[in-house]
């Protein structure tokens, strides 16, 4: 049984020869396929914030082969050549401002969004800029230059290929653009429903374009994986009613296109999203990936998996066992 078949069998309840393995080694059954920001995007008011944040810029090969900020722009704004090593604010393609502690800090993360392009001082402000919001072009071939270059052909071999859309899930993307608190107020109070729906449609169209082009430039692609953190430590951010009203139709479009292109749809989510699992199962999500499965509850996953409509891809709980447990604790939790 080759690696691709092993993963497909596991995800579709068809008895693989063993549990698939993922890791940064030659033994991995999986291989990620990723796009990147086009080099033509050169912000002139802040440093660029790319997927992965300052950690990517800290890698010389990333700056050489994938994306680099023009020195003349950097110099005009007064940033040092190694600007990514220090605390700074940056801007992504959607006009969202991020703050990071830099790669010299012990807190080496991708940063945190602090100001959305449609974020006002209150929930009543910000939407006036919606008609002028220009989203990135998902059909720009420069976005897929790493895929077009075809290095994956030499490495992927018979692995299961995952088209990684990053943390651009519909809810996450809308909440960074609008501002997290403001967006939750919009949804819960049904404020500005026309604008909310327009923004959700725009983000959906962008993601549909990504899915289409990921498959176009990598025909053997087996799946699309999108990250959308839908829950807090204790419950989902959205009630099932709000999810059905604003998001279910549009997530259904992403799943349908993925299936039409003969791929699996995988969703990563952090938080307790138990209340939303029936909705996600209903629209055909094939696999839910959880880094912190304790929040939603492993016993709850079994109930859904028994219906053989949704598989669960789980790790050792990264908030507790993985970071605080012994190797034996991790092994016991997995098995």
- Render pLDDT for 272-293 as a digit per residue (tens, 0 to 9): 999 999 999 999 999 999 888 7
Q: Please give the structure tokens belonging to residue 330.
A: 């991790």
Same structural domain for residues 138 and 86?
no
Number of domains in the chain: 2
Same structural domain for residues 76 and 16?
no
> What is the rounded distance in angstroms from the CA atom of residue 293 to the CA atom of residue 312?
9
Using the predicted structure, report yes or no on whether residue 207 has a pLDDT greater than 80: yes
Using an 8 Å Cβ cutoff, are 283 and 252 in contact?
yes
Same structural domain for residues 318 and 177?
yes
**CB-based contacts of 329, cutoff 8 Å, min separation 6:** 321
Reported pTM: 0.94
Same structural domain for residues 150 and 200?
yes
Of the three residues 57, 91, 115, the one that is the final residue of a domain is 115
**237 lies in some domain:** yes
**Model confidence at 123, in pLDDT bands (50, 70, 90)?**
confident
Residue by residue, DSSP assigns 63-100 as: HHHT----HHHHHHTT--TTGGGS-EEEE-TTS-EEEE
What angle, rounded to 10 degrees, do the helices at 248-260 and 193-217 form?
10
**124 lies in some domain:** no
Mean pLDDT of 99-117: 90
Q: Supply the CATH number for residue 233's domain.
A: 3.20.20.210
**41 lies in some domain:** no
Residue by residue, DSSP assigns 215-272 as: HHH-TT--EEEEE---B-SSSBSS-HHHHHHHTHHHHHHHHHHHHHTT-EEEEE--S-
Task: Compute the CA torsion angle 263, 261, 228, 83 (nearest 10 deg).
Answer: 100
Residue 96: give the domain boundaries.
Answer: 46-115
**40 lies in some domain:** no
**CB-based contacts of 297, cutoff 8 Å, min separation 6:** 272, 274
Same structural domain for residues 230 and 157?
yes
Same structural domain for residues 328 and 187?
yes
Same structural domain for residues 186 and 211?
yes
Same structural domain for residues 107 and 195?
no
**73 lies in some domain:** yes
Using an 8 Å Cβ cutoff, are 113 and 172 in contact?
no
Phi/psi for 217 (5° steps) reads -90, -10
Same structural domain for residues 189 and 323?
yes
Q: What is the pLDDT of residues 33-75, one digit of tens each?
A: 999 999 999 999 999 999 989 999 999 999 999 999 999 999 9
């Amino acid at each position: 049984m080759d690696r691709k078949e092993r993963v497909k069998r596991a995800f579709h309840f068809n008895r693989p020869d063993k549990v698939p393995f993922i890791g940064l080694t030659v033994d991995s059954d999986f291989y990620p396929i990723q796009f990147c920001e086009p080099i033509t995007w050169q912000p002139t008011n802040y440093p660029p914030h790319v997927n992965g944040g300052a950690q990517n810029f800290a890698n010389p090969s990333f700056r050489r082969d994938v994306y680099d900020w023009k020195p003349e722009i950097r110099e005009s704004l007064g940033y040092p050549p190694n600007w990514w090593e220090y605390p700074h604010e940056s801007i992504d393609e959607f006009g969202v401002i991020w703050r990071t502690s830099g790669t010299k800090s012990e807190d080496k993360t991708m940063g945190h969004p602090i100001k959305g392009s449609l974020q006002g001082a209150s929930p009543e402000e910000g939407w006036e800029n919606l008609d002028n919001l220009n989203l990135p072009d998902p059909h720009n071939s420069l976005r897929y230059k790493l895929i077009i270059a075809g290095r994956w052909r030499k490495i992927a071999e018979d692995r299961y290929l995952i088209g990684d859309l990053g943390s651009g899930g519909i809810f996450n993307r809308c909440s960074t653009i609008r501002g997290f608190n403001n967006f939750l107020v919009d949804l819960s109070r049904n404020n500005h429903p026309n604008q909310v729906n327009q923004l959700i449609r725009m983000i959906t169209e962008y993601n549909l374009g990504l899915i289409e082009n990921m498959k176009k430039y990598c025909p053997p692609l087996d799946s699309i994986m999108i990250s959308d953190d839908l829950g807090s430590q204790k419950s989902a951010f959205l009630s099932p009613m709000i999810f059905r009203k604003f998001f279910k139709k549009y997530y259904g479009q992403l799943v349908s296109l993925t299936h039409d292109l003969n791929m699996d749809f995988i969703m990563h989510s952090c938080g307790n999203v138990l209340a939303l699992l029936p909705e996600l199962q209903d629209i055909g999500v094939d696999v839910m990936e959880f880094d912190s499965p304790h929040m939603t509850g492993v016993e709850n996953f079994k109930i859904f998996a028994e219906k053989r409509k949704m598989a669960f891809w789980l790790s050792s709980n990264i908030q507790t066992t993985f970071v605080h447990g012994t190797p034996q604790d991790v092994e016991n939790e997995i098995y």
